[in-house]
Amino acid sequence: MCYIFTMKTVLTGVKPTGSLHIGNYFGAIKPALTLAEKYEARYFIADYHALNTMKDAAELKNAIRGIAAGWLAVGLDPEKVVFYRQSAVPEIFELATILAAFTAKGLLNRAHAYKAAVQRNVEHGDDEDAGVNMGLFTYPILMAADILLFNADVVPVGRDQVQHVEIAQDIAKAVNFNYKKNLLKIPEALTLENSEVVPGLDGRKMSKSYDNTIPLFSSGAALRKQIMRIVTNSQGVDEPKNPGDSQIFTLYCLFASETERLEMDKRYRAGGMGWGEAKEELFRVMNRELSPLRERFNAFISEPDHMDAILRDGAEKARAIASRTLAGLRSAAGIG
């Protein structure tokens, strides 16, 4: 079997495990939307992956809708991107079963997430596999199915996720070698060197694990409250300040115009502006840019039927692609 493609394909998934924040927007969402302009894009909500850590049904349902509304609000066009829920494409799970038969247990033993869980248990004197469910252990197989089913050429990932793409490569090569056919396309990891590293409230990289995030779609009042929590040094109002050392200025530059950035840089260096005023200026430009996104997000959230229809349509498109890949593999395996 061979495939003919007019454009290379990019695929990415996002787990619905919390509200989107500024770091997600600049570090992952905006780069993904840019890639969709150059690639045939297939983006999905990884709701089955989320089950490893989220067991509350209402919480997961709300998180799924929040992620869907968020991506649509910031500009994902479902007419140009195949946008779907992982759980709505059963072919993914059939492929995962097939791939499991070609995956060495030792390969999964070396997966970063599993190794980290084992290491934590050892450090606490617990059994190595305490608290480890099979969803976590077989996570790389399901991710490989997510990728390989849709003939992805590239998968944009952070450096800590490159291993998952490498595991998908190993599994695909094992399948192709066994059946002496190029049944599964070998994907490549795409690490976005120029994607923004957004500082959080405490100056570290913005991350839910650090509890230092600024939510992307919070109300104006809530946004201002978060900004006022940004940690600063003890420099007084009159002292000149180095904009390069300020996460307030770094965040400001993400939302301000070039003219505003240059003027703010001068004000920092000249002195006469306190941190409170700097935060107010950050709130002004950030709220200006985020208000339209917030309005679109709230509109999608208020129309769940419309959002669900978009995802159903995306799932139909995804299944049309998936069924072709799976049919070839089933036939080669003697199952189809």
What is the tens place of the pLDDT at every residue in 250-303? 999 999 999 999 999 999 999 999 999 999 999 999 999 999 999 999 999 999
84 three-class SS: strand
Do 197 and 145 meet the contact criterion of CB atoms below 8 Å apart?
no
Q: Give yes or no: residues 53 and 34 share one domain.
A: yes
Distance between CA atoms of residues 140 and 117, nearest Å: 15
**Average confidence score pLDDT of the chain:** 94
Bridge partners of 99?
A: none
Element at 43 (helix H, strand E):
strand 40-45
Distance between CA atoms of residues 32 and 190, nearest Å: 11
Q: Give yes or no: residues 310 and 287 share one domain.
A: no
Nearest to 23 by CA among 158, 188, 163, 220: 158
Residue 3 forms part of a structural domain: no
Distance between CA atoms of residues 208 and 201, nearest Å: 11
Q: Give yes or no: residues 287 and 317 share one domain.
A: no
188 three-class SS: strand
Q: Give yes or no: residues 147 and 285 share one domain.
A: no
Structural domain count of the chain? 2
Q: Give yes or no: residues 30 and 103 share one domain.
A: yes
Q: Give yes or no: residues 148 and 274 share one domain.
A: no
Q: Give yes or no: residues 246 and 280 share one domain.
A: yes
Expressed as residue numbers, the domain containing 246 is: 217-296
Give the side-chain half-sphere CA count within 13 A for 294: 17
Q: Give yes or no: residues 159 and 231 share one domain.
A: no
* pLDDT, tens digit (0-9, with 9 covering 90-100), for 299-335: 999 999 999 999 999 999 999 999 999 999 999 999 9
Return the pLDDT at 18.
81
* pLDDT, tens digit (0-9, with 9 covering 90-100), for 38-77: 999 999 999 999 999 899 999 999 999 999 999 999 999 9
* pLDDT, tens digit (0-9, with 9 covering 90-100), for 227-250: 999 999 999 999 999 999 999 999
> Which residues have CB under 8 Å from 53's CB, separation 6+?
17
- For the segment 104-108, the average pLDDT, to the nearest whole number, is 96
Do 243 and 270 meet the contact criterion of CB atoms below 8 Å apart?
no
Q: Give yes or no: residues 51 and 14 share one domain.
A: yes
Q: Give yes or no: residues 288 and 307 share one domain.
A: no
pTM: 0.91
Do 183 and 329 meet the contact criterion of CB atoms below 8 Å apart?
yes
Residue 66 forms part of a structural domain: yes
CATH number at 279 reads 1.10.240.10
Q: Give yes or no: residues 318 and 264 share one domain.
A: no
